Amino acid sequence: MIPAAFEYHRPQDMAGVLAVLEEHGDDARVMAGGHSLIPMMKLRMADVPHLIDLQDVGGMSDIDVSADTIRIGAMVTQADIIDHAGLADAAPILREAALQIADPQVRYMGTVGGNVANGDPGNDMPGLMQCLDAMFTVVGPDGERDIPAREFYEAAYMTAREDEEVLTAVTIPAPKGGYAYEKQKRKIGDYATAAAAVQIVKDGGNCASASIAMTNLSDTPVYSEDASNALVGTSVDAAAVDAAVAAMLGDIDPTEDNRGPVAFKNHVAGVILRRAIERAWSRA
């Protein structure tokens, strides 16, 4: 449980971070809250000769809420999301999800940027960000670029972010309508066996638009356009919900592990998604 020797860097600005990354290449890794990387290093599952701590880099801990968009700095913690009144009013699904991540100790240090950037399919925020159609801002030697959350995840721990780039912020269109984040886990603090993020807009008794994503049921988060479309134009009755669940079950690809066999995970996914759709519709 002791990591291999490493050199610790704590730059004061992003230029310093990028300079260390450029100098040391694959031997350098960036750390935000550290709740994913440090355990991997302690278990000797990650060899990081040069560790770059982002704690002193300014401008990455702000939450900006406007009428149309929400911008969250990469160093904003889950606790910051929970405690921010303006964010809770503008996008309550973020607070609902953050409250279900791990435990208070982890939430005080774990960051939004770290949760979405490392490509862990069990993390809660990636699927939620796909549901919300978020945009991830990364900066590297060639400047800044934006990557849609729905295009960011390529495989487990593999993303569209280049090794020399750092994720600096998440931007979300202001959500509308009803919402729900439902999660089934074995115990407090655990990763999800299955989790679902749902946003639904109601118009005249019917669903005008919907967005559905699920977590830890494939090697990436799963945003399902077919499941979302199954609700649009309906009164979100039992048949529409069944169709949405069936579409999602066709998109996920769970594997057997210590959370259960594939059949069990498919069953849990259906139950959790059904609950999330029904609760989001009740709030719409």
Residues 73 and 166 grouped into a single domain: yes
pLDDT band at 49 (very low <50, low <70, confident <90, very high): very high
* Residue 66: per-residue pLDDT: 97
CB atoms near residue 99 (< 10 Å): 15
pTM of the model: 0.95
Residues 113 and 210 grouped into a single domain: no
Question: Quick check: 39 pLDDT over 90?
Answer: no
Residues 106 and 166 grouped into a single domain: yes
Question: Quick check: 1 pLDDT over 90?
Answer: no
* Structural domain includes residue 57: no
Residues 88 and 149 grouped into a single domain: yes
Looking at residue 205, the DSSP 8-state letter turns out to be T
Q: What is the CATH number of the domain that holds 95?
A: 3.30.465.10
Domain around 232: 178-283
Over the chain, what is the mean pLDDT?
Answer: 96
pLDDT band at 40 (very low <50, low <70, confident <90, very high): confident
How far apart are the C-alpha atoms of 126 and 220, rounded to whole Å?
A: 9
Q: State both tokens at 127.
A: 């699927």
Looking at residue 166, the DSSP 8-state letter turns out to be E
**Amino acid letter at 82?**
I
How many structural domains is the chain composed of?
3
pLDDT tens track for 163-196: 999 999 999 999 999 999 999 999 888 899 999 9
Q: State both tokens at 248.
A: 């999602």
Residues 78 and 104 grouped into a single domain: yes
Helix (H, G, I), strand (E, B) or coil at 218: coil
* Structural domain includes residue 218: yes
